Structure 1
């Protein structure tokens, strides 16, 4: 039986991929960058430094610095998302059931701490989590397994005793490399038919409302 649950944030706790895309559209327009969309598609689940290296021209990175660029883009994201942010359907109910079953939970996100705090507080779900690991708390973001290894350690369990909820390829790889006991994929970012080709996902759900049997989830 699994002893803990770890949740990715972007695309998992909140279905926010379209908001990040809109934030990048605004952000890149400021710098005259027009070929960002396809590059960004390869960066979902990664940390901000890696995404900025994918999307932004080297001369802009040299002038502004990775940290300043990331802060600017994420400030746009939080500003435009704040009026409409809400958790993925069924999340709070699942968290309640996990808490009732005595299953500790953590967040394991490549996102920055400011974004993790923004989501946990705006959605009023912080009390359900015993730990929250953000990308700026580790030396390597997804697809490296460090975030999930750190989250499992914070809960005092082995990754093999965890069910991990994810939505992106980088996250699936990170969970697999961490040795996750079970990986559950959400269709919030990638279409179901694409996820069905992912050998790293043990189960695919459209929302947390699809989980009707906690025992089967944790078995």
Structure 2
């Protein structure tokens, strides 16, 4: 039986992909950047530095710097998403079941710590998480395994004793490379058929409400 659960944030705790896209639309318009949507679709699950390098012109990166650009974009995101934020269906019930079963939980997100705190606070789920690992706490973001290795270690667990909940291909790869015992994918950002065809997730569901029972999710 798995003894810990590691949760991605964007697209997993909250179905916020469209909010991030709207924020990038506002952000890129400020700098006259076009053609960013197709590039962004290839970057789901990655850290801000990698996304900025992919989307923003080199001269803007030199003038403003990665950190400043990322902070500006994320401030836009939090402002526009705050009025509508809510947990993915079935999440709170799952978190309550995990706590009752003595399963410790951590967030493992490529997002910045401000966004992690924002989501947990606004969704009122912070009490369920014993550790919060964000992209600005690690050297390498997903698909590198560092985030999930760090999250498991923060709970005092081996990755093999953890079930990971993800929505993005980069995150699923990160969990696998970390040696996660089980990977559960949510079809919030990508269609079910894409996750089935292009990832090796053990379980796929539309939301947490569609997943099998806790005994199956935590089974060895």
TM-score range, shorter chain: over 0.9
Q: TM-score of the superposition, structure 1-length normalised?
A: 0.99
- Match for residue 70 of structure 1? 70
Deviations 1:155-212 (A, max 9, x none): 1110011000000111011001000100000000001110110342001011111134
Cα RMSD (Å): 0.7
What TM-score comes out, normalization by structure 2 length? 0.98
Give the whole-Å Cα distance in 2 for the aligned partners of 1:65 and 1:199: 34
List runs of 5+ in structure 2 lacking aligned partners. none
Superposition map of 1:12-27 within 5 A: 12-27=12-27
Alignment partner, residue 90 of structure 2:
90
Deviation string 1:55-90 (CA, Å, 9 cap, x unpaired) is 000000000000000000000000000000000000
Alignment of 1:133-212 (within 5 A): 133-212=133-212
CA distance in 2, matches of 1:6, 1:199: 18
Give the whole-Å Cα distance in 2 for the aligned partners of 1:84 and 1:213. 29
Single out whichever of 81-90 and 205-214 deviates more from structure 2. Answer: 205-214
Q: Which residues of structure 1 form unaligned runs of 5+?
A: none
Instruction: Show the counterpart of 1:4.
Output: 4
SS at match of 2:180: coil
Aligned to 1:50: 50
Structure 1 stretches of 4+ moved >4 Å: none
**2:179 is the alignment partner of 1:215:** no
